[in-house]
Amino acid sequence: MSSFPVSGELAVRAAEVLARLGADAPSSPDGPVVSRSPITGEVIGRLEASTAREVDDAISSAARTFTDWRLVPAPQRGAVVARLGQLLTEHKDDLAYLVTVEAGKVTSEALGEVQEMIDICQFAVGLSRQLYGKTMASERPGHRLSETWHPLGVVGVISAFNFPVAVWSWNTAIALVAGDTVVWKPSEITPLTALACDALLRRAAADVGAPAGIHHLIQGPREVGERLVDDPRVALLSATGSVRMGREIGPRVAARFGRSLLELGGNNGAVVTEHADLDLAVRGIVFSAAGTAGQRCTSLRRLIVHSSVADELVDRIGKAYEQLPIGSPLDETTLVGPLVHRAAFTAFEDALAKAKADGGEIVTGGGTRFADQLDDAYYVEPALVRMPAQTSVVHEETFAPILYVLTYDDFDDAIALHNEVPQGLSSAIFTTNQREAERFLSADGSDCGIANVNLGTSGAEIGGAFGGEKETGGGRESGSDAWKTYMRRSTNTVNYSTELPLAQGVNFL
């Protein structure tokens, strides 16, 4: 039986951690922004929501600061991010603790999320000396044609609870070296981690002499984020969340001709062919489907298995599921922690009920744990469900550990099943057949923004651009050339001749 912290222990330790990180502990006993730990369900902090005036002041300050920050040489801007990376390294354990307490991640995953922040800081510092443009061949003699990249403006960041610090760092580290300023509205479920990150960045800015106005934190419910969405001074709105949220945000930002970077739902699938290494597949599948209690946007939801190996694979996954340690994420032996709140638990139960109504068979899991010990914390057994077809419930993303299993006989059918859902974030194939692997990565293979071979759908590295297609929103964050989203391009033509030829051979005078 898992051991849980005694009442009040989480709140006391969270306050101590915040103090070490230089953040003020929440001191509003009736504040509407509530940090409730999914570990025990108890409230560990309350904050006041940012007022309309405070949001306007934050955007105004960010806009004013931008006019000077954009002129600071990019390598000097990178110094802030370098210092942030150092502070994150020094305080890795403390920040990971807050991630565990507020998001419910097991210790190793929380530490991994902070490491991801450190990694993106290192990437961004290197990027600060590599914001390259191009020189193109001009068709006119005595002319030079090139492009340059310039800072964009104020970047609004709306982040979700499941990666409460990493996604902020992806956006903020890149935006700062690009010459932008940032206004961050975190999930109202994880306000304490946001206080910690803001304190560390403010300290980093002070240590290197950068203006405090390069970053602002606003907290509160949906209405607070809507002010970022609708303010014309916010040049780029980066939002991570549900497809429903994206449907509302996208048109509103577009209506004011702003830019949006949307990271939305991911109903991720993996194909397992008859040529797969099943030992490897089981390990990759179990982590992708059950890790973080199925609450990653890249969590594996659909398993599309060749009929010749389906029974064996399902049996092996089922046995692995039954051995997963479920309990308090503060216990280092735990691999599956809690769902974030009651609504997530209700969605889990509703999805399983729909799956059974559609003819699905629950192979293992689907039960609850510790309900007799905890009143408002929700621990579930990851569910493995065999489905006769890809029904409507399989087309929906349920943010919980449910893995639907479908079978196929023809590889074309496997690709079609995989691509049939409206989301397009992450995907995987397990095979030792090169033709199958290459087909999956080709233009008529996976239609997702991320496609993996012989590893699961979750656990992306920061060096590649992260994001997906279709209802996932099309945004790209983190590595590769995702930095271009945070800058504006200028095409430049210089005439160093004494003539004035026009393009395309046009004669005017």
Q: How far apart are CA 180 and CA 152, in angstroms?
A: 6
What's the rounded Cα separation, in Å, for the pair 253 and 243?
A: 15
Just list the catalytic residues.
Answer: 263, 297
Question: Which phi and psi angles does 202 have, rounded to 5°?
Answer: -60, -40
Residue pointed to by tokens 């609870």 = 161
Q: Counting Cβ atoms within 10 Å, is residue 77 exposed (0-12), middle (13-18) or buried (19+)?
A: buried
Q: Give, in order, the Cα–Cα distances in Å from 487 to each of 128, 477, 482.
A: 12, 13, 10
Please, what sign has the CA dihedral across residues 292, 293, 298, 304?
A: positive
CA distance 405 to 403: 6
Helix (H) or strand (E) holding 262: strand 259-263
CA distance 193 to 117: 13
- For 253, residues 6+ apart whose C-beta sits below 8 A from its C-beta are 229, 237, 259, 260
C-alpha separations of 466 from 4, 125, 327, 448 in Å:
35, 19, 30, 11
